[in-house]
């Protein structure tokens, strides 16, 4: 610890934060978007950020967001500096910044060591999901179910898309449907949204039975209404989207998606060729 210099971290240290996040992702896996400026800023450059430096290199950092409850925090320790108590020190500092508020920890590059530390400090894991990667050089072929056809997303189908989304997820525990206008607005305003590659599936009567949204080279959401599950609708949507990503000329060599740890769809995605690329999680310290 004596060889470390501790101090505040800010926007001027974005390159050092990017290097630190990349080092953690290389060993732990996780969400690759974490090493890009938008998400890196959101997670680590919050109300205040503390960093530890060694010979001019950032080896650990933690950001804390205060002002509302729960307070939020994300921390990183470079793999080469683990096992020296740095994670505990970062966690102590985050707790001090949060004061008496509940504290929500987010990790985009989950590791067993961090999990053990958080649980030992009284945090409850409230969310965990797998990050999955698909090599677009090897594509699945899933024929459409009888009577089902798919087509690209158009803005005019927005209300129908939202209703299909709501119907697909309504029976998921804890699901609370957002405001339709807000949900659609965020989707269409996202610079990475690909309506040309996103899909809506229709049954023989023309009614929507499933959907898939693509953002950049990510399969962002897949949903199938209850009456059409177990009929290959979801598998067909994913297979079509992967083939479209592979052939759209953007040069993407891989596709990504995230799936909740207890979501049975994970079995389907792995069967279609997705491979584990790490995990991400959230932990909550409740008030005593």
User: Model confidence over 117-166: pLDDT tens digits?
Assistant: 999 999 999 999 999 999 999 999 999 999 999 999 999 999 999 999 99
Q: The CATH number of 5-130+281-285 is which of 3.40.1410.10, 3.40.630.30, 3.30.70.20, 2.40.50.100? A: 3.40.630.30
Rounded-to-integer distance, Cα 39 and Cα 256, Å: 16
Contacts of 184-188 spanning 24+ positions with Cβ under 8 A: 184/158, 184/159, 187/213, 188/155, 188/158
C-alpha dist (Å) from residue 243 to 193, 212, 253: 17, 13, 11
Average pLDDT score over residue span 257-273: 94
pTM: 0.93
The domains of the chain are located at: 5-130+281-285, 138-252
- With pLDDT > 70 as the criterion, what percentage of the chain qualifies? 98
Domain 5-130+281-285 and domain 138-252 have a common topology: yes
Domain topology for 138-252: Aminopeptidase (3.40.630)
70: pLDDT confidence band, cut at 50, 70 and 90? very high
């Amino acid at each position: 610890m004596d060889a470390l210099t501790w101090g505040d971290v800010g926007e001027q240290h974005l390159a050092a934060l990017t290097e630190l996040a990349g080092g953690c992702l290389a060993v732990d896996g996780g969400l690759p978007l974490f090493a890009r400026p938008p998400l890196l800023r959101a997670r680590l450059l919050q109300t205040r950020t503390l960093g530890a430096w060694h010979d001019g290199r950032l080896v650990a950092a933690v950001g804390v967001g205060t002002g509302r409850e729960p307070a939020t925090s994300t921390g990183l320790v470079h793999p080469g500096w683990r096992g020296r108590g740095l994670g505990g020190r970062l966690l102590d500092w985050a707790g001090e910044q949060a004061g008496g508020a509940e504290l929500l920890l987010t990790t985009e590059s989950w590791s067993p060591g961090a999990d053990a530390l958080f649980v030992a400090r009284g945090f409850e894991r409230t969310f965990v999901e797998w990050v999955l990667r698909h090599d677009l050089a090897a594509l699945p072929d899933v024929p459409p179910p009888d009577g089902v056809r798919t087509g690209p997303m158009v803005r005019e189908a927005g209300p129908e898309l939202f209703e299909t989304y709501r119907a697909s997820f309504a029976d998921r525990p804890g699901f609370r449907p957002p405001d339709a206008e807000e949900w659609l607005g965020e989707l269409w305003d996202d610079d990475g949204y690909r309506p040309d590659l996103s899909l809506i599936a229709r049954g023989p009567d023309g009614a929507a039975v499933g959907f898939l949204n693509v953002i950049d080279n990510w399969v962002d959401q897949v949903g199938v209404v209850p009456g059409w599950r177990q009929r290959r609708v979801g598998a067909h949507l994913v297979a079509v989207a992967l083939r479209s990503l592979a052939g759209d000329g953007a040069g993407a060599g891989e596709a990504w998606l995230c799936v909740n740890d207890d979501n049975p769809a994970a079995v389907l995605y792995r069967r279609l060729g997705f491979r584990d690329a790490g995990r991400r999680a959230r932990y909550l310290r409740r008030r005593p």
